[in-house]
């Protein structure tokens, strides 16, 4: 339908039935022009060993929630990373962070902090963010569930 109306309008304008406004050269010349900004090279700093403007500062990323632990009944089983679970190693299970990466876990009850390696997936219980091995639990001073901050 739009093509039909456009075609009829074009045909009528060719026949002289449609009114047109003439555009003079003066109107075209008074159109403001846009100039692209020119980029100048950045002034070199006096400190050639360190360009401070290129440092990217990432904020410390962490998540807080409840930690649980899994113990000796899982000893020797294969984990998601392919290694065998050792309850006496500083390992943990998390759902979303990459396997074989290290995170810091801080017990919010007493302030103790340890570094653990993510070797498995879990916990699959609502409200918990990390499952720790027995050695990790002992080092953090946990008796059962504990509020923790996981810094990654």
Flag whether 95 is in a domain.
yes
Worst-scoring range by mean pLDDT, 23-27, 90-94, 120-124?
Answer: 23-27
d(CA 9, CA 23): 19
Flag whether 4 is in a domain.
no
**Per-residue pLDDT for 95 more than 80?**
yes
pLDDT at 38: 55
Place of tokens 């801080």: 106
pLDDT over 70, % of the chain = 61
pLDDT at 136: 97
Flag whether 9 is in a domain.
no
Flag whether 13 is in a domain.
no
Q: Are strands 62-69 and 91-93 parallel, antiparallel or unpaired?
A: unpaired
Q: Model pTM greater than 0.75?
A: no
pLDDT at 56: 45
Burial of 17 (0-12, 13-18, 19+ CB in 10 A): exposed
Domain count, the chain: 1
pLDDT at 126: 87
The rounded mean pLDDT for the chain is 77
Per-residue pLDDT tens digits for 19-74: 445 545 554 455 455 555 555 555 555 544 444 444 444 457 889 999 999 989 99
Q: Are strands 62-69 and 146-151 parallel, antiparallel or unpaired?
A: antiparallel
- Domain limits at 143? 75-103+114-151
Q: Residues 83-87: contacts with CB within 8 Å, 24+ apart?
A: 83/119, 85/119, 85/120, 85/133, 86/133, 87/133, 87/134, 87/135
Read off the CATH number of the domain in which 85 is found.
2.40.40.10
pLDDT at 39: 52
Flag whether 3 is in a domain.
no
């Amino acid at each position: 339908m739009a093509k039909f109306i456009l075609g009829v309008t074009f045909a009528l304008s060719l026949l002289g039935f449609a009114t047109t406004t003439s555009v003079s050269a003066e109107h075209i010349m008074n159109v403001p022009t846009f100039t692209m900004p020119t980029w100048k090279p950045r002034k070199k700093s006096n400190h050639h060993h360190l360009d401070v403007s290129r440092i990217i500062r990432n904020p410390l990323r962490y998540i807080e929630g409840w930690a649980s632990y899994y113990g000796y009944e899982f000893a020797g089983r294969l984990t998601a990373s392919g290694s065998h679970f050792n309850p006496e190693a500083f390992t943990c299970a998390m759902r979303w962070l990459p396997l074989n990466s290290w995170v810091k876990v801080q017990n919010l009850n007493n302030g103790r902090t340890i570094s653990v390696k993510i070797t498995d997936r879990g916990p699959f219980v609502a409200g918990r963010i990390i499952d720790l091995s027995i050695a990790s639990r002992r080092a953090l001073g946990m008796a059962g569930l504990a509020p923790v901050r996981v810094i990654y």
